[in-house]
A and B are shown apart, each in its own frame.
Chain A
Amino acid sequence: MLDIMPIIKSLWRNKTGPMLIIFQLSLTIAVVSNALFVVSERIEKIERPSGVAEEEIFTTWVRRTSPEGDIQTITEKDMEIIRTTPGVINATPTSSIPLSGSGTSTALRTSLDAGAVEFNSAIYELTQHGIEALGLSLIDGRNFNANEINFFTRDNPPSHSVTIMTQDIAERIFPEESAVGKTVFMGDLPLTVVGVVERMVSPWPKSKRAYDAILIPIIVKEDSTHYLVRTSKGDRDRLMHALVEKLRSVDSTRSIGEEKSMVQIKREAYASDYAMIKILSFVIFLLTFVNALGIFGLTTFWVNQRRKQIGIRRALGSTKAGIMRYFMLENVLLVVFAGVVGTVIAYVNSSYMARTQGMEFLPAGYVMITVLFLLMVTLLAAYSPIRRAAQISPVEAVSNI
């Protein structure tokens, strides 16, 4: 510990280099800690549970190609083929796909009064096979019955139906009581709640209310629909292409395609987050590398510049370990100074971002981890030049005179 004051003094005598390196390290600490924080935030966002069996699902898009084609007939025939294929767990037609970014949402009310509070929710129009096909877990009530499934045309809408809700929206509409048996209105249409599922993500995972969704068994006959198929895990990719080929070959009154696994849909939904994670991770890696280069180069230089002094110290009885300790301490001191400055920069930046972009405030842990990490990198980078310093023979002290 006695070494510290002389080290500071010697750094101060030649301050331009050390000050620049401290500035470089502190900027690095600020950038890396912020980047680490953003990366972990994005990972957390992507890994939020969706409630659906992501690994086992694929979807495809079906559209009738002639105005005479009836989407109900098409769907029922195709579903028959899909469900009897070995490896398929279950399948359903659906109006929207979770996480896909496109779908329908509606406002739900508990009464038809003009001033009634509205609850926005995503809608999935699907059949009684939907729960199993999506892999949802029903925590209250029951599934749809087969006789509740109703394909209808716009000019002949049903006057009443049923619904299954996610727990999130059920608790919002009916706080502290079971939603099952209650009625909600979608527009003017009354829906009796028959079941509640634990969780299901809407088509818009980044919206504030990403888990507000309802399932309804009434399906508007449009030009197109999606099929959602759940298979056993290993069979997904093989079945996805095989099934679409098979369906394509049996019927030409509809076009079928755009098959995608849920994993891929999720990847696309979070594409910008994945991109940020990768770019920032790469930046962290590069910054570490650049700093290591800098430290290595600088330590090598310092050692070479002070060969004679090292020789004198060795001649005066300093051990190899003593020499190494001196240079190690020098590097530790640089990182410590940089840690202080870097923390300040990181927080100034973070509070600016929090104010202007509404971002979260940087937790202290990230700065600490970054400083420790950089300390390790610094010592590793400096190790080989320092070892060489320790090898300098005391003879050097006199050799040049």
Chain B
Amino acid sequence: MWQYYLRLSLLSLRKTPVLSLLMVLAIATGIAANLTILTMHSVVSSNPLAHKNEQLFAVQLNTWNPAREYSALNNLPPQLTFKDAKAIYDADVADEIVVMQKANIIIHQRESSETPSAYHTRMTTRDFFSMFDVKFIYGGPWSKEADKNPERVVILSEGLNNKFFEGVDSSGKTIELDGQLFTVMGVVSEKWQLVPNVYDLNNLAFEPAPDAYIPFFLVAERAYQNWGNIQAWFSEDVKSNQDFLQSEKIWIQAWVSLNSADKYQEFSHFLESYIATQKERGRFKRSPGYQLNTPEEWLDIHNVVSTDNKQLLMLSFVFLIICLINSTVLMLAKLLRKAPEAGIRRALGASRSSIFFQHLMEAFVIGVAGSMLGLLFSLGGLAGVRELYSSYENVAVFNSVTVMSAVLLALAATLLSGLLPAWRISHAAPAKYLKTQ
């Protein structure tokens, strides 16, 4: 039966090629626009740390101006001062702890022909690699010891390893960072990339993973050029690196991993008592004194999904609706023209439901064709989006959401645009049409 309907509908579509093409085009345009924006949105709004959402927390400490609250985000400063970061690191309460900054370091390898240039380097503690599921192709993280008494060790990205060591296992070899020799501990796979990079949302949420990683506490030895944000709420006399470390300037991102409710309690208590002792020294005059944020909350606080993204998402659905209505109107027009034919079939004994399904089938064929064409168009749409937002390189790519939505939208398109016309024609009284013949 269905095969017969399918043949009938193909026949009927071939009879009105222009109108059919218009319907397919209308549905394809709507679906393409919708898929493009949906894909973009699904990535922008995703949480790559969802599986650890109960366990990881971004630490905020409110060391800000007693006279005026921090004016952005959730009104708490997003970064820590060095003394606070060091204190919570040294306390060793959390299961895992990461304190870090984004730096800019000149990297050079004497045996290689590459000229020395500046690279995006993350200065971090070793727990970064386990906390954010970093994948290594060679070697692995440095030891806890290398964090505490900072050693000159470095982990390279696959890209940098290809550049300086022709892609071979460089563990144990040395490389120059800012004129000092560092030993390579491992190489991070280029496949590792959090999108968005939840761990540091200060600058660009969609920037590529770092080129290199070195132990954070090397900052105590000498100043490294910061490539993130340094913020201060009053001007301090900073004459040396030591002054800088002791200042109230905030520039460090901190994350902890708390694997049980008890740990969470313990860590909160630790922070409360730490803040209490600091209060005696005249710091932490604002409340709340601290806040622990899950990755999801952190993404939310930083408005990673911009108003523009939300508006475009809404727009894409309205757009789709317009296209579907358009296709419904055309379908209605087409089917009503065929009403006499349906009238004859009814008179010859076809039931209402068979007329209904026969015409729904026609809408279905149009819907499938439109969706397939739309899927094709959305490839172009996504290429356009990548062109427009250079930082969305990782964002505007086909994913399972796109394909799933394409299937769902095809079904919805069929039902929405075909239901009404098919119902109308199946309920038309046959006698009326027979008479005009």
Residues of A within 8 A of B (CB): 16-17, 20-21, 23-24, 27-28, 30-31, 35, 38, 63, 65-67, 106-107, 154-157, 186-188, 222-224, 255, 257, 268, 271-272, 274-276, 278-279, 283, 286-287, 289-291, 293-294, 296-298, 300-302, 304-305, 353, 357
Residues of B within 8 A of A (CB): 18-19, 22, 25-26, 29-30, 33, 104, 106, 108, 115-118, 178-179, 225, 234-240, 306-308, 311-312, 315, 318-319, 321-323, 325-326, 328-330, 332-334, 336-337, 384-385, 388-391, 420, 424
Give the complex CA separation of A23 and B323 in angstroms: 11
For B36, the closest partner residue in chain A by CB is A279
Q: Do A293 and B235 contact each other (CB < 8 Å), given the known contacts A65-B108, A274-B388, A283-B33? A: no
Q: Pick the residue among B30, B236, B332, B336 that contacts A20 (CB under 8 A).
A: B332
Q: Do A186 and B235 contact each other (CB < 8 Å), given the known contacts A20-B328, A31-B319? A: yes
Main secondary structure, interface of A, reads: helix
* A28 & B388 in contact (Cβ 8 Å cutoff): no
* A255 & B116 in contact (Cβ 8 Å cutoff): yes
Top 7 A-B pairs ranked by shortest CB distance? A187-B235, A301-B333, A275-B388, A294-B326, A24-B325, A155-B239, A297-B330
Known contacts A35-B315, A65-B108, A157-B237; can you find 6 more A-B pairs with CB under 8 A? Answer: A16-B332, A274-B388, A290-B323, A294-B330, A301-B333, A304-B337
Q: Which residues of A contact B117 (CB under 8 A)?
A: 255, 257
Q: Do A271 and B332 contact each other (CB < 8 Å), given the known contacts A16-B420, A28-B322, A290-B26? A: no
Q: Which residues of A contact B318 (CB under 8 A)?
A: 27, 30-31
Q: Pick the residue among A223, A224, A298 that contacts B330 (CB under 8 A).
A: A298
* A272 & B308 in contact (Cβ 8 Å cutoff): yes
Q: Do A290 and B225 contact each other (CB < 8 Å), given the known contacts A154-B240, A276-B308? A: no
- Nearest-Cβ distance from residue A388 to partner chain B, whole angstroms: 13
Q: Pick the residue among A268, A279, A290, A298 that contacts B312 (CB under 8 A).
A: A279
Most chain-A CB neighbours within 10 Å: which of B240, B315, B390?
B315
* B333 & A297 in contact (Cβ 8 Å cutoff): yes
* B322 & A27 in contact (Cβ 8 Å cutoff): yes
Give the complex CA separation of A63 and B116 in angstroms: 11
Most chain-B CB neighbours within 10 Å: which of A21, A289, A305?
A21
Q: Which residues of A contact B308 (CB under 8 A)?
A: 272, 275-276
- Nearest-Cβ distance from residue A371 to partner chain B, whole angstroms: 16
Give the complex CA separation of A30 and B318 in angstroms: 10
Q: Which residues of A contact B235 (CB under 8 A)?
A: 106-107, 186-188
Give the complex CA separation of A304 and B384 in angstroms: 40
Q: Pick the residue among B25, B106, B336 that contacts A63 (CB under 8 A).
A: B106
For B325, the closest partner residue in chain A by CB is A24
Q: Which residues of B contact A17 (CB under 8 A)?
A: 329, 332-333
Q: Which residues of B contact A255 (CB under 8 A)?
A: 106, 115-118
